[in-house]
Amino acid sequence: MEYGEKKTCNNGGGGEISKTLLRRYVQFLKLERGLSENTLEAYTEDLRKYLDFLSADGKDFRAVGESDLQQFMAVLADVGIQPRSVARIMSGVRSFYRFLFVEKEIVQDPTELLESPKIGRRLPEVLTVGEIDAMIAAIDLSTAEGHRNRAILEMLYSCGLRVSELCGLKLSDLFLDEGFIKVEGKGGKERLVPISKRAVKELELWFVDRNQISIKPGSEDYLFLSLRRGTPLSRITVFYWVKELAAAAGITKNISPHTFRHSFATHLLTGGANLRAIQAMLGHECISTTEIYTHVDRSRLREEILSHHPRNIRDDFSK
């Protein structure tokens, strides 16, 4: 079912958003922002939450003020939604009103002066090289999925891929002799990423097993497939498998496939890689997004200083 064919969002009091307006809004997001299907789904779901809130008070979405928006944020916080999620929801609301203003559905954007909640900067979880090696070693190569799963972990870590990018990789995106792969990131933007020799070796072992799979029509070009269905792997499948593998390797950190991307960037920075080069490999549009890894590096440096500097070590003379 297409977005434009979803049921109308009811806002009561004459403020119902029509299917036509919703369809136009989604087209606006696609053209102006280049958002992926998953992000479009999230934006429309967040919009539904907002319209339901207005409907409960009998308010028209075309006639709200800043105080109504602040009240909505307060309600989200009261039900336990974290500031980061509130900020994400309000980003969708801002986008909706920007669309209404551009399309002359409203004469003033009520979100123009609205302040988002302070979310702070959360440092991502990072694995050590030893922990990554432990997870790879925990993969049972006697199983049919063994070589595929080792290749997946190597690609996530060696290339710093998002899980959606991994699942969307195709054989035609691989240029192994030249030592790089073509990745389609957010908004359909393509980038070239170097691939390690170890990852290439794991892929070659996976190709032997892949050739034995009965592949469904239309899936022939996808790199990573379900052995049972012969179709591309889903992000959810990779997510749960990584969780299970971490537990099998005795790792207690709260990790996901994205943790390998964080680890990729952090280890590059620690090894002396240029921040702009890391930005290009990760496909970040803004350097400020990549700069989170400098904070991770500083945080680790602080821990090292506190643990090993003589002024921070209590010896017998301080007793």
- Collect contacts of 93-98 with beta carbons under 8 A, ≥24 apart: 93/46, 93/47, 93/50, 93/69, 95/29, 95/33, 95/43, 96/25, 96/47, 96/50
Which amino acid would we find at residue 187? G
Asked whether residue 91 falls in the same domain as residue 145, the answer is: no
* Same domain assignment for residues 206 and 286: yes
Q: Answer yes or no: is 116 within a domain.
A: no
Read off the CATH number of the domain in which 227 is found. Answer: 1.10.443.10
- Owner of token pair 């592949």: 215
Give residue 8's domain range: 3-102
Average pLDDT rounded to a whole number, residues 38-51:
86
Please tell me whether residues 176 and 92 are part of one structural domain.
Answer: no
Residue 100 scores a pLDDT above 70: yes
Maximum mean pLDDT: which of 60-69, 240-249, 285-294: 240-249
Torsion 31-35-41-45 (CA) sign? negative
Identify whether residues 96 and 134 lie together within a single domain. no
91 and 151 part of one domain: no
Alpha carbons 278 and 245: distance in angstroms, whole number: 27
Spatial separation of the C-alpha atoms in residues 13 and 64, rounded to whole Å: 12
**What CATH number is associated with residue 8?**
1.10.150
115 found inside a domain: no
Mean pLDDT across 97-126: 79
pLDDT of 295 reads 57
More confident residue, 297 or 283: 283
Neighbours of 53 (CB within 10 A): 18
- Domain edge (last residue) among 102, 118, 148: 102
Is residue 287 situated within a structural domain? Answer: yes
Exposed, middle or buried: residue 317 (CB in 10 Å: 0-12, 13-18, 19+)? Answer: exposed
Whether residue 205 is contained in a domain is answered as yes
**Span 135-155, mean pLDDT?**
93
- Across 39-48, 86-95, 150-159, which has the greatest mean pLDDT? 150-159
- Choose the most confident range, by mean pLDDT, from 12-21, 22-31, 300-309: 22-31
Residues marked as catalytic? 162, 186, 258, 261, 284, 293
Which residue matches tokens 């203003």? 101
Per the domain annotation, does 230 fall within a domain?
yes
67-82 mean pLDDT: 83
Please tell me whether residues 65 and 146 are part of one structural domain.
no
* Residue 312 main-chain phi, psi, to 5 deg: -110, 0
Residue 182, SS3 per DSSP: strand
Last residue of a domain, one of 85, 102, 119: 102
Neighbouring CB atoms inside 10 A of 151's CB total 24
Q: Are residues 140 and 80 in the same domain?
A: no
Looking at the structure, do residues 178 and 294 belong to the same domain, yes or no?
yes
User: Average pLDDT, whole number, for the chain?
Assistant: 81
Q: Which pLDDT score is estimated for 271?
A: 76
Q: CA torsion 232→234→235→241, rounded to 10°? A: -100
Is the pLDDT at 249 greater than 80, yes or no? yes
Structural domain includes residue 314: no
Q: What is the tally of structural domains in the chain? A: 2
Task: Give the residue-averaged pLDDT of 275-303.
Answer: 65
The answer to whether position 68 is within a domain reads yes
Same domain, 17 and 93: yes
- Are 248 and 138 contacting, i.e. CB atoms less than 8 angstroms apart? yes
Q: What Å distances lie between residue 36 and 45, 189, 239, 312, CA to CA?
A: 14, 11, 19, 49
Is 313 part of any domain?
A: no
Together in a domain, 257 and 297: yes
Q: What angle do CA 21, 15, 110 make, to 5 degrees?
A: 85
Tokens 């990554």 — which residue? Answer: 132
Task: Let me know: does 14 contact 60? Beta carbons within 8 Å.
Answer: yes
147 and 16 in one domain?
A: no
Is residue 141 located within the same domain as residue 289?
Answer: yes
